[in-house]
Amino acid sequence: MKKNIIVIICMILSINVFAQEAKDKHLAKLPAVEIQDLNGNPFNTQDIQNDGKPVIISLWATWCKPCIAELLAIADEYEDWVEETGVKLYAISIDDAKTSARVAPFVKGKNWEYTVLLDVNSDFKRAMNVNDVPYMCILNGDGEIVWQHTSYAPGSEEEVYEVIKSLVKK
Protein backbone atom coordinates (compact mmCIF):
# COMPACT_ATOMS: atom_id res chain seq x y z
CA MET A 1 0.00 0.00 0.00
CA LYS A 2 2.82 2.36 0.94
CA LYS A 3 4.32 1.76 -2.46
CA ASN A 4 1.06 2.62 -4.13
CA ILE A 5 0.97 5.97 -2.37
CA ILE A 6 4.52 6.71 -3.45
CA VAL A 7 3.58 5.89 -6.99
CA ILE A 8 0.56 8.13 -6.88
CA ILE A 9 2.72 10.96 -5.60
CA CYS A 10 5.13 10.27 -8.42
CA MET A 11 2.33 10.47 -10.91
CA ILE A 12 0.99 13.73 -9.55
CA LEU A 13 4.45 15.22 -9.52
CA SER A 14 5.13 14.16 -13.04
CA ILE A 15 1.83 15.53 -14.24
CA ASN A 16 2.71 18.75 -12.48
CA VAL A 17 6.01 18.83 -14.31
CA PHE A 18 4.25 18.02 -17.51
CA ALA A 19 1.78 20.85 -17.08
CA GLN A 20 4.54 23.28 -16.28
CA GLU A 21 6.40 22.16 -19.34
CA ALA A 22 3.44 22.88 -21.54
CA LYS A 23 3.07 26.32 -20.02
CA ASP A 24 6.68 27.25 -20.55
CA LYS A 25 6.76 25.82 -24.07
CA HIS A 26 9.86 24.09 -22.90
CA LEU A 27 10.65 21.81 -25.79
CA ALA A 28 12.53 18.61 -25.19
CA LYS A 29 15.61 17.57 -27.08
CA LEU A 30 16.66 14.05 -27.92
CA PRO A 31 18.20 12.02 -25.11
CA ALA A 32 21.81 10.93 -25.60
CA VAL A 33 21.71 7.19 -26.16
CA GLU A 34 24.39 5.00 -27.66
CA ILE A 35 22.99 3.01 -30.59
CA GLN A 36 24.65 1.65 -33.76
CA ASP A 37 24.95 2.50 -37.40
CA LEU A 38 24.53 -0.20 -40.05
CA ASN A 39 28.22 -1.11 -39.81
CA GLY A 40 27.81 -1.79 -36.12
CA ASN A 41 29.78 1.29 -35.11
CA PRO A 42 28.49 3.20 -32.09
CA PHE A 43 26.31 6.20 -32.82
CA ASN A 44 25.12 8.63 -30.21
CA THR A 45 21.57 9.87 -30.76
CA GLN A 46 22.71 13.35 -29.75
CA ASP A 47 24.61 13.44 -33.03
CA ILE A 48 21.36 13.32 -34.97
CA GLN A 49 21.32 16.67 -36.73
CA ASN A 50 20.87 18.27 -40.13
CA ASP A 51 22.74 21.61 -40.22
CA GLY A 52 19.85 23.63 -38.85
CA LYS A 53 17.24 21.96 -41.03
CA PRO A 54 14.42 19.73 -39.77
CA VAL A 55 14.86 16.04 -38.99
CA ILE A 56 12.32 13.21 -39.05
CA ILE A 57 12.91 10.25 -36.79
CA SER A 58 11.05 7.02 -37.36
CA LEU A 59 11.19 4.07 -34.97
CA TRP A 60 10.42 0.92 -36.97
CA ALA A 61 11.17 -2.78 -37.36
CA THR A 62 11.40 -5.21 -40.27
CA TRP A 63 8.50 -7.23 -38.77
CA CYS A 64 6.19 -4.21 -38.35
CA LYS A 65 3.83 -3.87 -41.30
CA PRO A 66 2.45 -0.35 -40.67
CA CYS A 67 6.01 0.91 -40.06
CA ILE A 68 7.04 -0.33 -43.48
CA ALA A 69 3.89 1.08 -45.09
CA GLU A 70 4.70 4.48 -43.60
CA LEU A 71 8.34 4.45 -44.70
CA LEU A 72 7.31 3.25 -48.17
CA ALA A 73 4.78 6.06 -48.49
CA ILE A 74 7.40 8.63 -47.52
CA ALA A 75 9.97 7.01 -49.83
CA ASP A 76 7.81 8.00 -52.81
CA GLU A 77 7.87 11.65 -51.77
CA TYR A 78 11.25 11.78 -50.12
CA GLU A 79 13.21 13.14 -53.07
CA ASP A 80 10.78 16.07 -53.39
CA TRP A 81 10.74 16.70 -49.65
CA VAL A 82 14.54 16.86 -49.49
CA GLU A 83 14.69 19.17 -52.47
CA GLU A 84 12.10 21.58 -51.06
CA THR A 85 12.93 21.57 -47.35
CA GLY A 86 16.34 19.90 -46.92
CA VAL A 87 14.77 17.49 -44.40
CA LYS A 88 16.61 14.34 -43.36
CA LEU A 89 14.95 11.12 -42.18
CA TYR A 90 16.57 8.82 -39.64
CA ALA A 91 14.96 5.39 -39.67
CA ILE A 92 15.92 3.76 -36.37
CA SER A 93 15.19 0.05 -36.36
CA ILE A 94 14.34 -1.68 -33.08
CA ASP A 95 15.04 -5.11 -34.60
CA ASP A 96 16.98 -7.16 -32.09
CA ALA A 97 19.77 -9.70 -32.63
CA LYS A 98 17.45 -12.12 -34.41
CA THR A 99 16.67 -9.83 -37.27
CA SER A 100 19.11 -6.90 -37.08
CA ALA A 101 21.52 -8.53 -39.55
CA ARG A 102 18.68 -8.42 -42.06
CA VAL A 103 17.99 -4.71 -41.73
CA ALA A 104 20.67 -3.63 -44.23
CA PRO A 105 19.61 -6.06 -46.98
CA PHE A 106 15.99 -5.11 -46.31
CA VAL A 107 16.62 -1.38 -46.63
CA LYS A 108 18.79 -1.77 -49.72
CA GLY A 109 16.21 -4.10 -51.23
CA LYS A 110 13.60 -1.37 -50.80
CA ASN A 111 15.91 1.26 -52.21
CA TRP A 112 15.40 3.59 -49.26
CA GLU A 113 17.53 6.72 -49.10
CA TYR A 114 17.13 7.15 -45.33
CA THR A 115 19.86 7.15 -42.73
CA VAL A 116 19.30 3.84 -41.00
CA LEU A 117 20.39 3.17 -37.41
CA LEU A 118 20.01 0.15 -35.13
CA ASP A 119 18.63 0.22 -31.59
CA VAL A 120 19.19 -3.48 -30.87
CA ASN A 121 18.76 -3.27 -27.10
CA SER A 122 15.72 -0.91 -27.34
CA ASP A 123 17.65 1.65 -25.27
CA PHE A 124 16.59 4.59 -27.42
CA LYS A 125 12.99 3.35 -27.52
CA ARG A 126 12.91 3.28 -23.72
CA ALA A 127 14.63 6.64 -23.39
CA MET A 128 11.98 8.14 -25.69
CA ASN A 129 9.16 6.47 -23.70
CA VAL A 130 7.87 4.81 -26.83
CA ASN A 131 5.34 2.03 -26.25
CA ASP A 132 4.72 0.75 -29.72
CA VAL A 133 6.08 1.19 -33.21
CA PRO A 134 5.54 2.89 -35.62
CA TYR A 135 6.54 6.04 -33.78
CA MET A 136 7.59 9.22 -35.52
CA CYS A 137 8.85 12.56 -34.30
CA ILE A 138 10.07 15.75 -35.96
CA LEU A 139 12.93 17.92 -34.74
CA ASN A 140 13.23 21.57 -35.67
CA GLY A 141 16.51 23.14 -36.74
CA ASP A 142 17.56 23.50 -33.09
CA GLY A 143 17.05 19.80 -32.44
CA GLU A 144 13.89 20.29 -30.38
CA ILE A 145 11.06 17.79 -30.62
CA VAL A 146 8.14 19.73 -32.09
CA TRP A 147 5.83 16.92 -33.18
CA GLN A 148 5.27 13.30 -32.17
CA HIS A 149 2.96 10.62 -33.38
CA THR A 150 2.34 6.94 -32.87
CA SER A 151 0.82 4.41 -35.34
CA TYR A 152 0.28 5.00 -39.04
CA ALA A 153 -2.79 5.74 -41.13
CA PRO A 154 -2.36 6.16 -44.89
CA GLY A 155 -2.20 9.86 -45.61
CA SER A 156 -0.65 10.93 -42.31
CA GLU A 157 2.59 11.55 -44.20
CA GLU A 158 0.84 14.66 -45.54
CA GLU A 159 0.69 16.03 -42.00
CA VAL A 160 4.38 15.26 -41.53
CA TYR A 161 5.14 17.26 -44.64
CA GLU A 162 2.98 20.18 -43.49
CA VAL A 163 4.89 20.31 -40.18
CA ILE A 164 8.25 20.27 -41.96
CA LYS A 165 7.19 22.99 -44.38
CA SER A 166 6.05 25.21 -41.52
CA LEU A 167 9.41 24.71 -39.81
CA VAL A 168 11.32 25.75 -42.88
CA LYS A 169 9.16 28.84 -43.40
CA LYS A 170 9.98 30.07 -39.90
Given a contact cutoff of 8 angstroms between Cβ atoms, the answer to whether 58 and 68 are in contact is: no
Residues 128 and 110: their CA atoms lie apart, in Å, by 27
- Is the dihedral angle over the CA atoms 112, 115, 118, 122 positive or is it negative? negative
Distances (CA, A) of 28 to 3, 17, 75, 101, 138: 29, 13, 27, 32, 11
Shortest distance in whole angstroms from residue 136 CB to other proteins? 10
Cβ proximity to other proteins, 52 vs 72, nearer residue: 72
Shortest distance in whole angstroms from residue 127 CB to other proteins? 7
**Positions in the binding site for other proteins (CB under 8 A):** 3-4, 6-7, 9-11, 13-14, 16-18, 20-21, 24, 26, 28-29, 31-32, 34, 39-42, 63-65, 69, 72, 76, 96-99, 101-102, 104-111, 120-123, 126-132, 135, 147-151, 153-156, 158-159
Cβ proximity to other proteins, 32 vs 52, nearer residue: 32
Shortest distance in whole angstroms from residue 168 CB to other proteins? 20
Cβ proximity to other proteins, 84 vs 113, nearer residue: 113
Shortest distance in whole angstroms from residue 129 CB to other proteins? 4
Shortest distance in whole angstroms from residue 54 CB to other proteins? 18
Rounded to 5 degrees, φ, ψ at 159 are -65, -40
Residues 162 and 164: their CA atoms lie apart, in Å, by 5
Cβ proximity to other proteins, 45 vs 55, nearer residue: 45
What does the chain come to in residues? Answer: 170
Cβ proximity to other proteins, 52 vs 151, nearer residue: 151
Strand runs labelled E in the chain: 34-37, 42-44, 55-60, 88-93, 115-118, 135-139, 145-150
